[in-house]
Amino acid sequence: MIEITGVQAEPGGSATLRFEDGKLHVEPDEQRRKPRTKLHEWFLGIGFVAFLVMLLAFGLGRLAQKLHLPKAVGNAVTDVALACLGVFLLCLLLGWISVKLGEFFGTGGAGGGPKPWSLPAKWINGIEYQQIDPQGGLRATLRKSDNSLAHFTAPGETGPRLHRAFEQLLRPAAQQTSPQPVRQPAPQFQAQPPGYGQPAPQLQAQPPGYGQPAQYGRPNPYREG
């Protein structure tokens, strides 16, 4: 997840951009701050007054005990303190409910404000960049799939970060993961018989007639008569 603050979005005004899960999320800074409605401020005011009265009642109760005033006075002061405590807690609860209702209906702040919006990467047809200052600030113009435009201006050193975030968002998933090398299996060698690879023995030349069958019964020309 990449988060870039201090971006001027059109629409949206000053906003924070989040890039995660293949989507661009634009959160206006007015929405990121805790929204406060008129009703919420009214409940806070009543709760604050009830809290002060509660502290005062507890103080008077302690004073009544030290002055040994009638017990009825002490009980009345205690009842007032407990009632103020209940009003204070009720105002906190109603104020929290008013904030949640303002968030749900988009009425946070006086007169409402820009709402957060998201855009999947597949709904982005293209984006153009324009440098706006020597420090690297840029203005990115994003074209949606319905041909509407959204502009994001990031000053100074925020510009290169915004550029890298958009490029990573628009990069296909196949290019974001580097291919793993295919591991080839080791070659298998068969066992060779003994003597394999040794040079063949050299045969010596034999005299003429070697290996011919002997002939018997022929007369000896040198035998005496």
Q: Do 49 and 16 have their domain in common?
A: no
Q: Are residues 45 and 147 in the same domain?
A: no
Q: What is the tally of structural domains in the chain?
A: 2
Sorting pLDDT into bands at 50, 70 and 90, what band is 116? confident
Tell which residue, 58, 59, 3, has the closest CA to residue 26: 3
166-186 tens-digit pLDDT: 998 888 643 444 445 545 555
96 and 119 in a common domain: no
Among 46, 78, 105, the domain-final residue is 105
Please indicate whether residue 99 or residue 202 has the higher confidence score (pLDDT).
99
Domain limit, last residue, from 130, 158, 173: 173
Phi/psi at 47 (5° precision): -60, -40
Within this chain, do residues 28 and 42 fall inside the same structural domain, yes or no?
A: no
Is residue 202 included in any domain, yes or no? no
Q: What is the CATH number of the domain that holds 131?
A: 2.30.29.30
| The model's pTM | 0.45
Q: What is the band of 199 on the pLDDT scale with cuts at 50, 70, 90?
A: low
Task: Give residue 185's pLDDT.
Answer: 55
Host domain of residue 163: 2-33+112-173
| pLDDT tops 60 at residue 77 | yes
Residue 91 included in any domain = yes
Asked if residue 151 lies in contact with residue 175, where contact means CB atoms within 8 angstroms, the answer is no
Distance in angstroms (rounded) separating the CA atoms of residues 196 and 200:
10
Residue 224 located in a structural domain:
no
CB 36 within 8 A of CB 49: no
d(CA 122, CA 23): 9
Instruction: Point out the domain boundary residue: 76, 105, 134.
Output: 105
Residue 160 is assigned to a structural domain of this protein: yes
Q: Are residues 121 and 74 in the same domain?
A: no
**100 and 63 in a common domain:** yes
Residue with token string 């298998």: 188
Dist. CA 29–CA 17, nearest whole Å: 10
181, part of any domain = no
Please report whether residue 222 resides in a domain.
Answer: no
Q: Are residues 49 and 97 in the same domain?
A: yes
For residues 89 and 199, which has the higher predicted lDDT (pLDDT)? 89
